[in-house]
Amino acid sequence: MKNISFKQAINSFEKDLIAAKGYSKATVENYKNDLDIFKRYLADNWDLKLNDLNILDDTDTIHFYITEFLSDNILIKDNSAQRRNRLLFALKSFFKFLVTRNLIGEDPTKKIDTTKTKTRVKPVYIKEKEFNSFLDTIEQSDSRYALRDETILKLLTFAGLRVSELVSLTWQDIDFEEKNITITGKGNKERIVPLLDQAITAIRNYIPVREKIDSKRSEDENIIFLSQKRTRFNPASIWRLVKKYAKKSAISNADKISPHKLRHTFASLVYKKTKDIRIVQQLLGHSDISTTQIYTHVDQEEMKKAINKFGEVIE
């Protein structure tokens, strides 16, 4: 495979759209803008800079980034299925071009389908009645990495961490006395999130396990969670970990549960109990409260209760 920069690949893609496909300049410009949005999303949310094409050849990892990107654009940006499809068409065209030119080995968009519905999409999350089932599955695991996995999943679920925040956590970020965690989020903004006793206990139980592992790289020495390779986790590995336990727990929508959906679960349940959107905003580290508004959705059970109460009034 050729080794060229991402910018060179975009330029070649642009020429192909004009010369081989016969697309108009306006259409080509739209494709380039959509690809630039994806590039900036990776940089802003995952600290990933597309300087060359090497990272794009990790099919599973890029597939994960693309699904998160498309999901966030529906749930947070404008809730438009048509907009998601346009972004997906641009990505599909680009990656198909890269495969055709032998610039990458496999197309990560191949198994991603377009959205057919025009209805508003609610965030996928673990319902309250299934929450304990998910936790039981985590706690009853017989994996050799059970304590590590339990701590990872409880921090994602009980603290609403982004994956990029989780994999960067250091021991200095945990305050056992105050029972809270300092999280460095987007734009290096810090927020402090209180931790439940279950999360604190999980971290304490994991400490002896972590102390026996020497990090492969000096920069990972204080990182809390290390992979089997003794380096900090990459986001795709955390994604696979969450998928594994979600399927084991047999909860509804298990195939759709991802690290970001655990963040949705945290936010949805906090809002359900507090009805305070400002608290949810601060816990998630959202600078704009409009981003947090998606968690004010009302589930089917709450709607049924409301209708029943209405029925009591008119009896």
CA distance 73 to 203: 33
| pLDDT at position 302 | 62
Are 87 and 225 contained in the same domain? no
> CB-side exposure of 50: number of CA atoms within 13 Å?
21
Q: How would you list the strands of the sheet with 180-184, edge to edge?
A: 174-175, 180-184, 190-194
Q: Does residue 115 belong to any structural domain of this protein? A: no
Confidence (pLDDT) at 220: 92
- pLDDT score for 119: 47
93-97, 213-217, 283-287: the lowest-pLDDT one:
283-287
The yes-or-no answer on residue 263 being catalytic is: yes
Please tell me which residue in 154, 232, 263, 264 is annotated as part of the active site: 263
149 and 282 assigned to the same domain:
yes
Interatomic CA distance for residues 270 and 288, integer angstroms: 18
> Above 80 in pLDDT, residue 180?
yes
At 45, list the tokens: 């949310």
For residues 155 and 288, membership in a common domain is answered with: yes
Which among 4, 30, 209 has a CA at the least distance from the CA of 101?
A: 4
At residue 211 the predicted structure's pLDDT band, cuts being 50, 70 and 90, is very high
Name the active-site residue from 148, 162, 232, 261: 162
H or E element at residue 251: none
- The secondary element (H helix, E strand) that includes residue 301 is helix 300-314
Q: Does residue 77 or residue 73 have the better pLDDT? A: 73
* Beta strand residue intervals within the chain, DSSP E: 174-175, 180-184, 190-194
Percent helix, strand, coil in the chain, to 5, is 65, 5, 30
Please confirm, yes or no, whether 86 is among the known catalytic residues.
Answer: no
Whether residues 244 and 149 fall in one domain = yes
Residue ranges making up the domain that contains 66: 6-100
With respect to residue 107, please indicate whether it lies within any of the assigned structural domains.
Answer: no
Sign of the dihedral through C-alpha 47, 51, 54, 57? positive
For CA atoms 29, 34, 39, 43, give the dihedral sign: positive
Asked about 295 being catalytic, the answer comes back as yes
* Cα distance between residue 289 and residue 295, in whole Å: 11
Residue 310 has pLDDT above 50, yes or no: no
Distance CA 244, CA 229 (A): 19
Catalytic annotation present for 256: no
Tens digit of each residue's pLDDT (9 = 90 or more) over 119-161: 445 567 787 778 888 888 888 888 889 999 999 999 998 999 9
| Catalytic, out of 83, 127, 186, 216 | 186
- 159 neighbors 280 (Cβ within 8 angstroms): no
Q: What is the pTM of this model?
A: 0.65
Instruction: Decide: 154 and 199 in contact? Cβ < 8 Å.
Output: yes
Q: How many domains does the chain have?
A: 2
Same-domain status, 134 and 83 = no
Q: Pick the more confident residue, 71 or 35.
A: 35
% of the chain with per-residue pLDDT over 70:
86
CATH of the domain at 42: 1.10.150
User: Each residue of 80-119: pLDDT tens digit?
Assistant: 677 788 888 899 999 999 999 888 888 889 888 876 655 4
Average pLDDT over residues 277-302: 75
For helices 128-139 and 146-159, the axis angle rounded to 10 degrees is 160
Does any domain span residue 78? Answer: yes
Is 212 within a domain?
yes
Catalytic one among 92, 148, 232, 286?
286
Q: What is the DSSP string of 120-149?
A: PPPPP---HHHHHHHHHHHHT---TTHHHH
Find the catalytic residue in 63, 148, 232, 260.
Answer: 260
Residues 156 and 298 in one domain: yes
- Supply the CATH number for residue 252's domain: 1.10.443.10
> Is 162 among the catalytic positions?
yes
**Domain-embedded: residue 105:** no
Please say if 63 is a catalytic residue.
no
pLDDT above 60 for 57: yes
